[in-house]
A and B are shown apart, each in its own frame.
Chain A
Amino acid sequence: MMSNTPEELKYATSHEWVKADEEGNVTVGITDHAQDLLGDIVFVELPEVGSLVAATDEAGVVESVKAASDVYAPVAGEIIEVNEKLNDSPELVNSDPYGDGWFFKIKMSDSADLDNLLAADEYSEQCESE
C-alpha cells in the first residue's frame, strides 16, 4: 500500500510534515508513512505552549502498541499552539495524519529553515529506500 504524501507540504527526514502559512507560522504533524509504520497510536506527548525549540530538537513523543518515538521540531521557533484533542483521541494521528491529527504549531524564528526540508517527491524517495 502506497503512503499518502501531499505535494503541497514539506517534510523532515525524521518523518514530520510541515505546512507553512504566510505569517511565518508552521503546523507540524507526522506523515502517513510514519503513522503506518508505528501502527495504532495510543499516546501522544505534546510540547508546552510558549517553549522555544531549535530545529531537530525533541518536541514530543508518539507512542503506539509497537514503539515509542520522539517527534522532532522541523524548524526553530516558539511553540504557539498544540493539538489538545490528541490527549484524548490519539487515534486521530492514524485516521487523519495531515488534518485533525496535527501535533503543534511553531512561530518560526527563521523561515530559511524551510529550505532544509524535503519536498514530497524527495521524502517519498527516502521512504522507498528504507
Chain B
Amino acid sequence: MLIFERSQPGRSSKAQAPNAGLDDSLLPDKFRRQQPAELPSVSELQVVRHYTNLSRNNFCIDTQFYPLGSCTMKYNPRGAHKAAFTPGFLQRHPLAPIEYSQGYLSCLYDLQEILKGVTGMEAVSLAPMAGAQGELAGIAMIKAYHDDRQDTARTEIIVPSAAHGTNPATATMCGYKVREIPVNREGDVDLDALKQVVGPQTAGLMMTNPSTCGVFERKISEIAEVVHTAGGLLYYDGANLNAILGKVRPGDMGFDVIHMNLHKTFATPHGGGGPGSGPVGVADRLKPYMPIPVVAKEDVVFCWLDQEDLPKTIGPMSAFMGNAGILLRAYAYALMLGREGMIRVGEFATLNANYLAIRLQQAGYTLAYPTRRASHEFILTLAPEEKAYGVTAMDVAKRLLDYGVHAPTTYFPLLIPECFLIEPTETESVEELDAFVDAMIKIRGEMESSPELLKSAPHTTPVRRLDDVKAARELDLRYAKPVQATQT
C-alpha cells in the first residue's frame, strides 16, 4: 500500500507543518504554485507506521547474510556514518569559498592519495557519482587521449564475455564498436582470440580482474602487452577490487585507467541504501583528461583544479563534486582500516569465499571452476541439480530466503548454466558462513524429498514468488491516482 492510498482529505500533521507566521512577501508571484502540491494527507503517526512497517519488510545486510556476488554488499560500519555526520561536514555549502572548506578538501585530498596508493595509479579524480559514471569517464578519457593524438582510426573496444553488462554499454555510449572475446573453460581470457581481434582499430580493452567468473586473470601481463603493443589502452573495472585490495595493484598490472566503486570496496551504502561513488584513477598519460574538479594542494592550502588548470579535461560529471557524504564515509573507512587492515580485507574476503566453496563442494554442489582458487566470489552451477530434480537456480535462491539468507546473484555471468554467484565478503563470521552451508545442505535434501517446496518458495516472506515475466511484459511503473468526485 502506498502512502497516497492512506490519504484522507483535510488530514495533516500540524506539528510538522511549516510555521504559519513566515513572511513570504518577497517571493515573486511567478514562483508561486497555482495548485497545491499533491501530497498525501496523513497524520504524523500514520507516516511513522507506514515507513517503519515498510522497513521491517526489508531484507537487508543489517538483518541478514547477503552473499550477493559481483556487487560486494558489505557491512557499512557505523563509525564512517558518524564521521560523515559531523556538523562541519553536514552544514558545509558547496558554493562556500574554499577558505571555509579546507577541512573538507583536506579529507578529499587524502582520499585521493589513499586511492592512488592502493591502486598504483598516478592520479585520482573523485568526481564520478557512481560506478557507471566512472566507467563513462574512463572510456571518455581513452577517447580523448586517442583524439588528442589524432589517432582517430581507433573505433573498437574489446570486452571479454565474462564482463559486466555495463562495459559494452559504456563503450557503445562513447561511440565505440564492441568486440567480444571469449573466456576459456578455466575462466581466463582466450589470449589467441584477443590476438586475433587487436589491431590499429583497437582503442582499448575493458577488464574486470578478478573477473565475474570469480577467478584472477593469470595472463594479465601478457594481455596488457598485447593491447599496448597494438596501441590500445587498458581499462580496469573496479567492481571486484575487494578481492585484491592492497595485495595486487591495477597500476602494476599495466592498467591505464580504472574506476573504483566506493559503495562496494570502501563499504559505503548501496543497493537502494544510498548514492554511489565511482572515482577514476589514471596512469600518467591520461592525467590531462581527468574529470573535474580534482583536489590539489598548494603549499598548505587545498584548492579545486578546474577547466583552467586542466584544459583537456573531459569535463565535470555533476553540478558540484561527487557525492560528498559518500566520499567522506569512504575516507573514514580507509582510515579505520589503515594500511594493514586494507590488506586484510582482500585476504579475509578470499578466505571466506574459498571456505564456502570447499564446504559446498563437499556437500555435493558443483563448482563452475573446480581447478581454480576462488577470489572474493565463486560460482556454483546448479545444472546437475536441474537435470536430476527439475529444480532451478532461481528455485534454490528463493528457498534460501525462507532460511533467512538473501539470494546470491543468479544467472550471471551468462556463461554458466543455472549460475549461482556467491560472495560472502570479509565481514561475515565463520558461524554465519556455516549457517549458510547448513541451509544449502537442507535445501539439497529438499530437492530430493520435496522439490515442490522449492518451486513454490519463498513461503515465509511478506511477498511470495513474484511473476517476473508478467512484470517485464506488462510494465506498470506509475501510480495512477483514483479519480475522485469533483470538489466544490
- Report A's interface with B, CB cutoff 8 A: 37, 40, 42-43, 63, 65-69, 90-91
Contact = CB atoms under 8 A, between A and B. Distances in A.
Interface stretch (B74-82, B428-436, B466-474): B466-474
Contacts of A63: 472
B348 interface: no
B411 A40 contact: no
Nearest to B413: A67
Contacts of B468: 65
Nearest to B387: A1
The residue in A42, A67, A69, A90 that gathers the most chain B C-beta atoms within 10 A of its C-beta is A42
B414 A40 contact: no
B472 A67 contact: no
10 contacts: A37-B417, A42-B472, A43-B472, A65-B468, A65-B469, A67-B412, A67-B414, A68-B165, A90-B473, A91-B473
Contacts of B414: 66-67, 69
A67 B411 contact: yes
Interface of B: 165, 411-412, 414, 417, 468-469, 472-473
Contacts of A42: 469, 472-473
Contacts of A66: 411, 414
A67 B449 CA distance: 31
Nearest to A42: B472
B448 to A, nearest CB: 20
Contacts of A37: 417
Contacts of A40: 469
A37 B386 CA distance: 12
A37 B418 CA distance: 9
Contacts of B417: 37
Contacts of B469: 40, 42, 65
A63 B447 CA distance: 29
Nearest to A66: B411
A40 B474 CA distance: 13
A90 to B, nearest CB: 7
Contacts of B473: 42, 90-91
A63 B472 CA distance: 10
Contacts of A69: 414
